[in-house]
């Protein structure tokens, strides 16, 4: 059976869990929720890239293991929340334990798998709940500095915070995640969707020329100052649009990842 990606179901379930445990302040600690639910939570002793965490089953008991290889608490929180998504979301337990009692995840990896996408959506909604952010978002400004503020407030990674900010903001925002000059993922805010006849960059495409992101990739000089660039960009270099629109493009190399985060705002 093919299952449709159900973002709103994942979001609603996260809201219910926050209500059940009477959590109304940030940051949300997903390990506390797991423990309150009776799940064991442990680090993976020897973490490998590509594995963010695991959900384990033993009889009718469950446990979560999370990866620490990035040394990034925000990423660890997202990984734990992703496994909680598999625990709570309808149909997930049956699906993830089809082949055995261990499910291995790569959270936040833009997987095409609908169950993985739902668990990511659950994690984003649990750690960055719209209800707790709606009075804050408009105060924390725009662009990369707003994403940093959100990440500090919610104890989440920059990538997860950038995507969530883009989903919730009323402002113009485009977020692109790339690796080695190739686009992994692009997300745009409601305001960008409203532009006429746009085509957004797709997974697997090259970083377009004339952009600040291209400039960062072209600079092999891997010094601190070259890991964070910003400048003006014509949005039509990124999106196929009828008109030219100018905006600010900020580009950041993400620590231990080979990933690059591009934030376009105006």
Q: How far is the CB of 174 from Zn ion (least distance, A)?
A: 27
CB nearer Zn ion, residue 116 or residue 167 = 116
Query: How many C-beta neighbours within 10 Å does residue 109 have?
Result: 15
Between 119 and 263, CB nearer to Zn ion: 119
Tokens read off for 57: 């089953």
Provide the minimum distance between the beta carbon of 249 and Zn ion in the complex, in angstroms, as a whole number: 32
Give 89 or 119: the residue with its C-beta nearer to Zn ion. Answer: 119
Whole-angstrom Cα distance, residue 41 to residue 66?
8
Distances (CA, A) of 126 to 81, 161, 191, 213: 7, 12, 24, 31
- Beta-carbon contacts of 150 under 8 Å, excluding residues fewer than 6 positions away, are 128, 133, 137, 140, 156, 161, 164, 165
Place of tokens 């095409």: 112
116 or 250: CB nearest Zn ion: 116
Tell me the C-alpha distance between 12 and 260, whole Å: 31
Least distance between Zn ion and beta carbon 146 (Å): 28
CB-based closest residue to Zn ion: 105
Nearest distance in Å: CB 20, Zn ion: 22
Report in angstroms how near the CB of residue 118 gets to Zn ion at its nearest. 9
- ∠ CA 170-173-179, nearest 5°, is 150
Q: Which two tokens stand for residue 5?
A: 């990606």
Alpha-carbon distance of 17 to 256, in angstroms, equals 32
Which residues lie near Zn ion (CB under 5 A)? 105, 116, 119
H/E run at residue 83: helix 73-88
Decide: 150 and 161 in contact? Cβ < 8 Å: yes
The nearest distance, CB 104 to Zn ion, in angstroms, is 8
Q: Quick one: 105 or 157, whose CB is closer to Zn ion?
A: 105
- Select 56 or 146, whichever has its Cβ closest to Zn ion: 56
- Output the smallest distance, CB 219 to Zn ion, in A: 35
**CA of 166: how far to CAs of 48, 189, 192, 222, 232, in Å?**
29, 5, 10, 28, 19
Q: In this complex, which beta carbon is closest to Zn ion, that of residue 120 or of residue 250?
A: 120
């Amino acid at each position: 059976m093919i299952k449709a990606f159900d973002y709103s179901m994942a979001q609603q379930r996260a809201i219910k869990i926050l209500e059940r445990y009477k959590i109304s302040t940030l940051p949300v600690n997903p390990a506390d929720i797991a423990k309150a639910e009776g799940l064991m939570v442990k680090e993976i002793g020897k973490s490998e890239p590509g594995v963010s965490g695991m959900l384990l089953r033993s009889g009718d008991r469950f446990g979560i293991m999370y990866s620490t290889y990035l040394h990034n608490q925000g990423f660890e929180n997202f990984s734990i929340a992703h496994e909680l998504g598999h625990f709570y979301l309808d149909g997930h337990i049956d699906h993830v334990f089809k082949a055995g009692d261990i499910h291995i995840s790569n959270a936040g990896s833009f997987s095409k798998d609908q169950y993985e996408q739902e668990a990511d959506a659950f994690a984003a909604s649990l750690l960055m709940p719209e209800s707790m952010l709606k009075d804050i978002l408009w105060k924390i400004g725009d662009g990369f500095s707003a994403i940093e503020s959100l990440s500090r407030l919610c104890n989440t990674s920059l990538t997860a915070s950038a995507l969530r900010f883009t989903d919730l903001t009323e402002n113009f925002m485009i977020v692109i995640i790339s690796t080695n000059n190739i686009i992994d993922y692009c997300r745009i805010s409601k305001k960008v969707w409203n532009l006429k006849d746009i085509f957004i960059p797709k997974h697997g495409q090259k970083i377009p020329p004339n952009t600040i992101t291209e400039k960062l990739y072209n600079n092999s000089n891997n010094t601190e100052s070259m890991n964070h660039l910003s400048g003006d960009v014509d949005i039509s270099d990124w999106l196929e649009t009828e008109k030219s629109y100018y905006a600010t493009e900020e580009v950041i190399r993400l620590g231990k990842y080979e990933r690059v985060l591009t934030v376009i705002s105006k």
